[in-house]
A and B are shown apart, each in its own frame.
Chain A
Amino acid sequence: MRAGMLAALGVAFALCASAAGALAQGPRVEPAPGARPAPGIGGPPDVIAPPSVPPSVPNEPTTPDLIVDLSLARVSITSAFQGESILMFGMFDPPGEIVVVVAGPAARETVMRKQRFLGIWLNTGRQSFDDVPAYYAIAASQPLQRLLARGAGGEILSLEDRLASVKPATPRDAADLARFRAGLVEVKRREGLYPAAIGQVTVQAGRLFRVDLPFPSRLPEGVYDVRVYLLREGKIVAAVSRPLPVGKVGFSAQLAGWASHEGALYGVGAILMALLVGWIGGSVMRRL
């Protein structure tokens, strides 16, 4: 496993270096006024070139380059899956600061709260929230508060801001709602789904950046959205978005698929497996 990670890192660095090399050999590094960057210079084809995509990117005469790649194209949940750490790396036209936001698919989550009742702790309160991201991580090349305080805001949301926007499914008074929201964050943090210490985005040579994205073993499936922003003086000047599919593969995927689509058949299979192993195991062990 560790060897695998090292290999991935190695590959990532090689990619990083080659991307930088390709750019250096490209037409220019500093964009000339009026010239738009040619699409796909050294970068992967699915990099969305601003300004066409995120509408919040101001329509400047020039859009600086921002190239991003991930050490893995997808998170594959196999039988040996124990969580994954994905290296995200890329390069940008200096100057500027980088902010990375990774969000899992949104769904309705129900938060339950325990209370002491006749000496016993049991769930007495429940509150559902709509549009809760399964996973949320944010990292920046500078302390986030400082970057966002300058009004970069807009579509970059800190975890607190993102969760302030999740809608309660049923009404409740504001103070209590805030407690349930805090409870939601607490549970998600404990499960490693809202990683608190994701670490800073490190910048090398003023233009290469990298950050490790941690994913725990208990990871909801779906298409995650990885977004990278380039900020200059508190404004978004470039943005890149990439989908990151997270899903079970191989044996795990097959079993989970059967369990959800062919429940009855899966049940019969489970019973037959138990009968067979129990029968053979019992006979063999008694003879020893």
Chain B
Amino acid sequence: MEIYLPIAELSMNVFLLLGLGAAAGLLSGMFGVGGGFLATPLLIFVGIPPAVAVASQANQVVANSISSLQVQWRRGNVDLRMGLVLLAGGMLGSSGGVWLFTYLKRIGQIDFVIAVLYVVMLSTIGLLMLFESLRSYFRRRRNPDGPRGKLHTHYLVHRLPLKLRFYKSKLYISALLPLGLGFVIGILSAILGVGGGFVLVPAMIYLLGMPTAVVIGTSNFQILFVAANVTFLQAATNGTVDVVLALLLILGGVVGAPIGARIAAKLPGVALRALMSLLILAVAAELLTELLRTPSSLYSLGSREVLP
């Protein structure tokens, strides 16, 4: 069954889009990240213009984060103070990101920038996660009841000024750190159409040293508002949010997420992280070959301008 997407201006199979949404939802249920990093490249791959894919995906992220925030909030897993500091950075970053997106689109380099950013980011995160999960797997095998070590290690970044106390996260760190982190995630969110959970979650654990329990809820809190900001700005400045496309992705995701959560409950955390890292690396490898392979056509068209 085909449906015409009014903003993307082409018709596409309904079940393909629902399936894409469900796959992204499955990931978000399994790993607690949005799945946008997989959905956006796939949308572009099936022929949705990149600008529409990114903006509509941001709209999907809004729905995805509200439905998981619902649960996290009730369980008290949101560090509101940390969330607000992250959000302040995220708002600045995403607003700048939408501006940057518009500029890159005008000079015809947006597809390239999207692809390169994905490759760099996904391969970095994927490798880090893979090594981390392998290391913890072998460490546990060597001494299963050994000492747990410090809560988190102290780096140079912990000596920055403007220190704030984050009670729920049991942290006393500089506000500049989450502010900067939120800023970077905001830019990524605007350009790549992702919530940024797959960068934000590891960064909160390894860089900020937040306890795992509050990481998912707090990142969801920040992602919800940043994605809403990206949706709004993309709609207001570029007119590229396709609500029909977004709705299909959301409906697919709503079904996929609980299935993913059920799968996650049956698998050990280390295996889950290893699986996730392999998936991320696979997407990165695919995007890299796209960049390196000789394209079937050297030519493409920019946007049509109807002259007065």
With A123-B108, A130-B307, A270-B243 already in contact, the answer to whether A110 and B301 are too (CB < 8 A) is yes
Closest to A81 in B: B4
**Interface presence of B251 (CB below 8 A):** yes
Of the listed stretches A14-22, A25-33, A44-52, A256-264, chain B binds: A256-264
In angstroms, Cα B11 to Cα A217, docked, is: 6
Identify which of A109, A130, A183, A267 contacts B241 (C-beta below 8 A): A267
Q: Are A113 and B298 in contact (CB under 8 A)?
A: yes
Identify which of A79, A271, A286 contacts B71 (C-beta below 8 A): A286
Give the chain A neighbours of B59 by CB distance below 8 A: 270-271, 273-274
Q: Are A285 and B235 in contact (CB under 8 A)?
A: no
**Interface presence of A162 (CB below 8 A):** no
**Interface presence of A210 (CB below 8 A):** no
With A112-B302, A278-B67 already in contact, the answer to whether A121 and B292 are too (CB < 8 A) is yes
Give the chain A neighbours of B247 by CB distance below 8 A: 273, 277
Closest to A182 in B: B299
**Interface presence of B277 (CB below 8 A):** no
Q: Are B299 and A186 in contact (CB under 8 A)?
A: yes
**Interface presence of A77 (CB below 8 A):** yes
In angstroms, Cα B291 to Cα A264, docked, is: 35
**Interface presence of A235 (CB below 8 A):** no
User: Among the interface residues B7, B235, B302, which one has the most CB atoms of the partner chain A within 10 A?
Assistant: B235
Give the chain B neighbours of A109 by CB distance below 8 A: 301-302, 304
With A113-B298, A286-B71 already in contact, the answer to whether A107 and B232 are too (CB < 8 A) is no
User: Among the interface residues B59, B67, B231, which one has the most CB atoms of the partner chain A within 10 A?
Assistant: B67
Of the listed stretches B157-165, B166-174, B179-187, B252-260, chain A binds: B252-260
Give the chain A neighbours of B67 by CB distance below 8 A: 278-279, 281-283
**Interface presence of A37 (CB below 8 A):** no
**Interface presence of B60 (CB below 8 A):** yes
Query: Could you tell me the distance in whole angstroms from the C-beta of B11 to the nearest C-beta in chain A?
Result: 4
Q: Are A183 and B254 in contact (CB under 8 A)?
A: no
Give the chain A neighbours of B236 by CB distance below 8 A: 263-264, 267
Q: Are A111 and B231 in contact (CB under 8 A)?
A: no
Identify which of B71, B108, B241, B292 contacts A266 (C-beta below 8 A): B241
Total B residues in contact with A, Cβ cutoff 8 Å: 60
Query: Could you tell me the distance in whole angstroms from the C-beta of B240 to the nearest C-beta in chain A?
Result: 8
**Interface presence of A190 (CB below 8 A):** yes
User: Among the interface residues A259, A264, A274, which one has the most CB atoms of the partner chain B within 10 A?
Assistant: A274
With A122-B109, A270-B241, A271-B62 already in contact, the answer to whether A77 and B301 are too (CB < 8 A) is no
Q: B256-308: which residues lie under 8 A (CB-CB) from chain A?
A: 257-258, 291-295, 297-307
Give the chain B neighbours of A120 by CB distance below 8 A: 112, 116, 291-292
In angstroms, Cα B294 to Cα A115, docked, is: 9
Query: Could you tell me the distance in whole angstroms from the C-beta of B276 to the nearest C-beta in chain A?
Result: 22
Closest to A256 in B: B6
**Interface presence of B237 (CB below 8 A):** yes
**Interface presence of B42 (CB below 8 A):** no
Total A residues in contact with B, Cβ cutoff 8 Å: 67
Q: Are B302 and A282 in contact (CB under 8 A)?
A: no
**Interface presence of A108 (CB below 8 A):** yes
Q: Are B243 and A273 in contact (CB under 8 A)?
A: yes
**Interface presence of B3 (CB below 8 A):** yes
Q: Are A278 and B64 in contact (CB under 8 A)?
A: yes
**Interface presence of A61 (CB below 8 A):** no
Annotate B62-74 by CB proximity to A: 1 below 8 A, 0 otherwise: 1111111011000
Give the chain B neighbours of A3 by CB distance below 8 A: none
In angstroms, Cα B296 to Cα A190, docked, is: 11
With A108-B307, A130-B307, A274-B250 already in contact, the answer to whether A186 and B108 are too (CB < 8 A) is no
Q: Are A82 and B4 in contact (CB under 8 A)?
A: yes
Q: Are B297 and A187 in contact (CB under 8 A)?
A: yes
Q: Are B295 and A114 in contact (CB under 8 A)?
A: yes
**Interface presence of B145 (CB below 8 A):** no
In angstroms, Cα B45 to Cα A25, docked, is: 58
User: Among the interface residues A105, A115, A268, A288, which one has the most CB atoms of the partner chain B within 10 A?
Assistant: A268
Q: Are B303 and A79 in contact (CB under 8 A)?
A: no
Q: A102-132: which residues lie under 8 A (CB-CB) from chain B?
A: 105, 107-116, 119-123, 126, 130
Q: Are A260 and B63 in contact (CB under 8 A)?
A: no
Query: Could you tell me the distance in whole angstroms from the C-beta of B292 to the nearest C-beta in chain A?
Result: 6
A-B contact pairs, 7 of them (CB 8 A): A110-B301, A119-B292, A260-B239, A267-B234, A275-B66, A282-B68, A285-B254
A112-B108, A255-B7, A256-B7 given; 16 more Cβ-contact pairs under 8 Å: A112-B299, A121-B291, A121-B292, A130-B307, A183-B299, A187-B297, A187-B300, A217-B2, A218-B10, A259-B235, A266-B243, A270-B231, A273-B243, A278-B63, A281-B251, A282-B257
Which positions in A face B, CB cutoff 8 Å?
Answer: 77-83, 105, 107-116, 119-123, 126, 130, 134, 180, 183-184, 186-188, 190, 217-220, 222, 248, 251-253, 255-256, 259-260, 263-264, 266-271, 273-275, 277-279, 281-286, 288
Which positions in B face A, CB cutoff 8 Å?
Answer: 2-4, 6-7, 9-11, 59-60, 62-68, 70-71, 108-109, 111-112, 116, 228, 231-237, 239, 241, 243-244, 246-247, 250-251, 254-255, 257-258, 291-295, 297-307
